Amino acid sequence: MTRPGRPGRHVLVLGGTTEGRRLAGELLAAHPTGLRVTTSLAGRVAAPRLPEAGEVRIGGFGGPAGLADWLREHAVDLLIDATHPFAVRVGANAALAAGETGVPLLALRRPGWTPVPGDRWHPVDSLAEAAGLLPTLGSRILLTTGRLGLAAFAHLAEPWFLVRSVDPPTGPCPPRMGVLTARGPFDLDGERALLREYRIDVLVTKDSGGTATAPKLTAAREVGVPVVIVRRPEPPAGVPTVTDPAEAVARVGALLFDTPR
Ligand SMILES: NC(=O)c1ccc[n+]([C@@H]2O[C@H](COP(=O)([O-])OP(=O)(O)OC[C@H]3O[C@@H](n4cnc5c(N)ncnc54)[C@H](OP(=O)(O)O)[C@@H]3O)[C@@H](O)[C@H]2O)c1
């Protein structure tokens, strides 16, 4: 690919996470000149939190081929997949598009959570498996797995669910359900109060990792509430991965600026 007369290097960040949102600002602070950063959001959330710096585009690309076209048309030098660990399709698309175009790909994934003494975790591999366990565990369930997976719980007529999600749910839902629209970060006092107020006896969460939504795990541990935790899907193989934005900034510097063009 020839890029005559280009003023600088262009990084495309696939975002939708706290780390992805921070990354554009940290990259541009580290490289105030010579770097263009575009953050891409899926457009799932009605009012997304936007990155503090750089350009933003919203909406799908049209699969791996559409993403590959976008990389070529916008002369992208580096693709960073900073999407959520459970966003498996976009992660796979990124790997395919990078392979097709030869654009280097870096993944930014925060580490998952690890249990500590006192936790009563029930790891499962899917929302369907989580739903299968619930009747044996409790009857007032805090569901924090996102509004889009609620269909997996829609057949459960007995338990009462408190669904916490950024936007209100649409589509199939459990029949006995309350909804709390809220966006993290959440603090420990608030999570303790939530469990108490709604008399929650089971928590369901994905292993999202990070600090913004971790206090619910501490609150559950304190009162002995079991946690059904959905394990992370396998990430695409062979993609170099960093775990925080600072590490990503260092890798971008090495990849784009420490090596001759
Ligand atoms: N899954 C979760 O639990 C979760 C939690 C928190 C945040 N998120 C964020 O929400 C977004 C959607 O998650 P998902 O699980 O629905 O994803 P997904 O199933 O992996 O992706 C579905 C489709 O959405 C589009 N897409 C996803 N992320 C995109 C991005 N950053 N920019 C442009 N298009 C994107 C792509 O459409 P095309 O094929 O048309 O390009 C992709 O094929 C992700 O960006 C993710 O970071 C997800």
pTM above 0.85, yes or no: yes
Residue 3, pLDDT score? 41
Q: From start to end of 61-201, where are the E strands? A: 78-81, 105-108, 121-124, 140-143, 160-165, 177-181
Residue 260, pLDDT score? 56
Q: What separation in Å is there between the alpha carbon of 240 and the centre of ligand 1?
A: 20
Distance CA 111, CA 17 (A): 13
Residue 7, pLDDT score? 63
Atom 12 of ligand 1: nearest residue by CA position: 42
Yes or no: say if 51 and 68 are a contact pair by the CB < 8 Å rule: no
Residue 5, pLDDT score? 40
- Tell me the Cα Rg of the chain: 20
Distance CA 140, CA 194 (A): 12
CA end-to-end span of the chain, whole Å? 12
pLDDT along the chain (261 residues), means of 10: 59 96 96 95 94 96 98 98 97 98 98 97 98 97 96 97 96 97 97 98 98 97 98 95 97 84 53
Distance CA 212, CA 158 (A): 31
Atom 25 of ligand 1: nearest residue by CA position: 60
Q: From start to end of 42-200, where are the E strands? A: 55-58, 78-81, 105-108, 121-124, 140-143, 160-165, 177-181
Structure-block tokens of residue 20? 């992805």
Yes or no: say if 95 and 200 are a contact pair by the CB < 8 Å rule: no
Q: What separation in Å is there between the alpha carbon of 145 and the centre of ligand 1?
A: 15
Ligand 1 pocket residue status of 236, Cβ below 6 Å: no
Atom 35 of ligand 1: nearest residue by CA position: 42
Ligand 1 pocket residue status of 57, Cβ below 6 Å: no
Hunting for tokens 């706290």 — which residue is that? 18
Ligand 1 pocket residue status of 14, Cβ below 6 Å: yes
Tally Cβ neighbours within 10 Å of residue 103.
21
Residue 8, pLDDT score? 87
